[in-house]
Structure 1
Amino acid sequence: MINIVIVSHSKHLADGVAELASQMLNPTHCQLAVAAGINDEEHAIGTDAVKIMTAIESLSQAQSIVVMMDLGSAILSAETAIELLDPELAEKVTLCSAPLVEGTLAAVVAASSGASLEKVIEEASNSLYPKKIQLGENFVQPKNDINAPVKIHGKEASWVVRNPHGLHVRPAATLVEVLSTFQADYQLVKGDRRINPLSLNQLSLIQIRQGDEITLIASGEQENEAIAAFLELARNGFGEELPSDSNTITLNGILAPVSQIKAPAFVWHEIELSPVENLSEPIDIDAQIGKLNFAIKSTLKALKQSANKASQKLGEHIGAIFNGHIMMLDDDELITSVIDRIKAEKISAQQSWSDEMQERTQMYCALTDPYLRARELDLRDLRNQVLYHLQDKTRPSFTPSQPAILVAKELFPSTLIQLVDSQLVGIALAKGDSRSHSAIIAAEMRLPMLVNLGSALLKVTESQKLKLDTNKGELVIEPIML
């Protein structure tokens, strides 16, 4: 366990950072403490070495303790606090120079995933990286940055993207699928960013929005055919139906009342696995790579089954979501990066896979486009599915025995697709995003769904009676009759 102390001159600031971080906290692997402000009502801004010492001592059961600080004098107070500690406890403490807000969030995410102390510090130290990408600032690339390809020369074609949500996962996956059929090398350029368009992950991270101009460069035996296919695909919305440019008529009406859905709760806990290490045995690099490849192969097989089921039951456009997951996972750049971690850090396939996907998830969370940012759920879903295979565990299956409203903190797309033929009549989530693929699948299943209802939802018990009204955005929880 790696615990984190938040040190700030302002108690309000520290409490706010702690509140943000708690949304990502796995208390099994990480706990927080705040040491902020001073006990002076008139001059409450400042830091107190004794407060910091007390906060560290409250987390002493951890293997390591990371202290995050805001301003320079906070460092002096933290150093003084360490001098006041018992030497054995002081050995556990590391002061981190990362920015307080971004660094704390990154450190909490890494620590909650079971990462090593070195990894937690690295994640915190690199936490400004996504923001710098978005703002176009000059910076030294972290070692896990997307590899910037050397410029190639060949046939070129440019296009201004018309898709309302830009090239999100499904149209991006269609582009990858089309380009991969030709014998050619590619680069896709947006502004000063140059990426490999055969990587769905790279396509997503450069945030191609409506109105952006992109240029495809193709070089090779079938470069002409590839460019022609790209332009044809672009004209057809990259596989999406686009708004008509003609004189569209919009009619406004009055929403007819929709009756409330009343049903008992069916409580589901989406389990997110953490790496399980066997520290008593040395790491066999080749064996770990073999385990990784087998787990990815097994996950791809399951994803193909989900894609087929989604296409048959809900339509090709829903099947495309899982085909997008397949492309995300079956990505040479991703797999190579995970294998490189295993070799360089001499860690297990589980830890390497978890660390890599956690970093990529953070990149998605930092995107400014809310539609693309919602795809972080897909990455966590993929991370979890592969970990199940790496740990040789079977994912729990479930189905309500009567018409019910599913109640959960979150819901992965791969979980929801298994409920297509169930007696589910609605979904209520404590967290979630209306732009997520889970929400899109639920809409196609004709399931009323409310997201972001808050932690109070998690107090609902099995079979407790609920009334769900999507028009009002309201879930009524009836009291339990004793």
Structure 2
Amino acid sequence: MVGIVVVSHSILLAQGVVELATQMTQGKANIAIAAGVDDPENPIGTDAIAVMAAIEQVCDDDGVVVLMDLGSALLSTEMALELLDPELADKVSLISAPIVEGTMAASVAAAAGLPREAVIAEASSALDVKKAHLGEATSVQQDDQQNTQQDDQSSDDNSPSIASQIPDGLTLSFEWQVQNPHGLHARPAAAIVGALASFDADVVLFKGDQQANTKSLNSIAKLGVRCGEVIRLQANGAMAQQAIDAFTLLANDHFGEAAQVSKMLAGEGCLGDQGEQGEQDGENPEEPLVQCPENAAPEGALAGIRVSDGVAIAPAAIFSAAMPAVPKREFAGASAEITALNNAIAQVQQDLTTEAAGPHGAIFEAHSLMLADPEITRALALMIAESVISEQAWLAVMEGLAAQYAAAESQYMREREADIWDITRRVMVALTGDKGSALTLTEPVVLFARDLMPSDVASLDKSKVLAICLSEGGKTSHSAILARAMGIPALVKTKGCLEQVHAGDPVILDGFAGHLWFAPTADIAQALELKRQQWRDDIENSAANAQAPAITKAGRAISVLANIGGPDDVAQALACGAEGVGLFRTEFLFQQSDALPSEEEQYQVYRDIAAAFGDKPVTIRSLDVGGDKPLVAYPMPAEENPFLGQRGVRLCLAHPELFATQLRAILRAHAEQPNIQLMIPMIATVDEVQQVKALLVQQCAQLGLSDTGLAVGIMIEVPAAVFNADALAKEVDFFSIGTNDLTQYVMAADRGNSAIAELVDYFQPAVIRAIAHTCEVANKAGISVSMCGEMAGDTKATEALLSLGLSKFSASAALLPALKETIRLS
């Protein structure tokens, strides 16, 4: 296999590029890095010896292709060639391809087993896909050279010839309607190259009268196949049938994106039409998310695009959140500037981690992934290498990224621009300390703005903000999704609203019709008031139904509880019919400041929340940090594999002084509120449970408490806990299945890695078997078994989970009414 070497001034840049290439090839490419220099004060640079070592690491008989970024990277690489053995140096090709796109294209070609000449051609034409998309001229001569090279090799390396060389009447073909949310983008294209490269057959992919070489990632990507379009594969030769069979199998798996396609199809449409179903977080899947044409505005009103139903009558308030200005200061040196950026980004990531534990967590998890994009890291490193201060570098890089989203063909992707600006502003605030002036509301209002960031919407006080009217925005934006989830009537694209409204003006927003009224007649105003009252009555009726128990058709009563992340979630949980708390995440207490919470602070929060639920159970999960949830107030040593390291109970048992404080607070709260029960995360062995129980006995003695009767359960989220379930059931009072981590660990697939998203699916047979075994063991042992992971709130899974013997469901509050109704129909 051809080896790939990435030479860069920045180790962060090189690592980001290789991470992308590794995801594209599923780790099949042989890639090495030579980047940066061993100088903590000035880490930007290149080293010829490191380049030589990287080449030697990946070189075999097929040779090596080296991609470089700027200036001295080329000089260091040329020096490395002079230092190499001449026989080895003859197998090395240095190319001028762009380091990011070139590395991705070259890696896919190399992983497919193509020869060095074809790998070079793929890398060299890597920018042509982007140029074609943007309407720029592409390197036609280079394409012709690549096709000629690959055609000449067809008899030796099984490369496909162009379509005109496939004899008529002797071909096999297969047609497929692409259902991938984003069409045949880079990852599906890479999957096609990898699947078909080894067959002794001439294979061509068609979209209409356009054709693509199936050994070329760039060629497939340039077809621009979108969701809903039909493609046709043609093949002939000795292994034509095997090629067709392999492509058919790959297509039926949606080119490695079966999980994304399943979620999208649940919303009945492609992303270009509907938005990303996985991030809708509570919105009605039956409602089409296409951007409706503007309706005609009646006299006395403006028309907007409906986002969230409802009617609000209140004075107007104007909201504006300015981007902090770039300070005028001197460049502090590359190391200091990068440190400042890293600290600011880490602070925002910490905030996003806390927000991701809330009721609209999927949106902020998406922001966290955006912020972790290695392309951003690469671009920042390049700008800082040019002596640009961190604030200016950050703003410039993010402005460029926002412009790319704004220019996207897909409406859904264009509406992600607001997410980019949200992240940008948050990091700028962290860099500069400039939070701007806060909006203070003293009375209920209709809030007007050009656009709102998701973090703005999430922090709104629903008692003061009765409705939202935006002059820009989009129906599938995350701000709109949050408004729907929060039940706030909202309009977007209400052209002219900011020019015609002044703070304090009385307005009426009709979210049902998509109208904003400034001066309705008396008759219209009365009709709108009646409409508002009917809407409020309907909400109250729905809430009343949500309070009814969830009883199956067979008469089986099922407990439906809420997942909460703190006191702010209590009111919504109760309003949505929660019969208690199945998961109280306590991490917010530890992550909201740089200091650890005291025993007294924890005790008061646990006691007050339990009191709010009366005699309904409140399940407090002990501290679950580590891995993807670092603890700023109690820093731990870095771990090579943090998801497999000191997480949850492991961390707590390793630091008993941290754990004991929380246990004392829980025990004290339970003495006053006996509805409290304790749940321990990340349990794998009986010994861990026994250690926790021993600590509880010890803390009881110190507090002067007798046996309190505190129920102690565990989360089943580690495969070992599934296998040890019989023994664990003898030690605890209940099981609660955490499907998010259980799926991740059963499938050995990082749930934050989009390249393997199809594996991170709780409908995988192995995960279902783990759930079934846990339920069987719990029911046999006579202890209750609940589920508090994402699957618990998925109504598509409800009937199956009931059949497995699950007796309690715990989900985000907004999902409870629908979950209860689904149970009643089961």
Give the TM-score taking structure 2 as reference length.
Answer: 0.30
Larger Rg: 2
Q: Which has the higher contact order (CA 8 A, sep 6+)?
A: 1
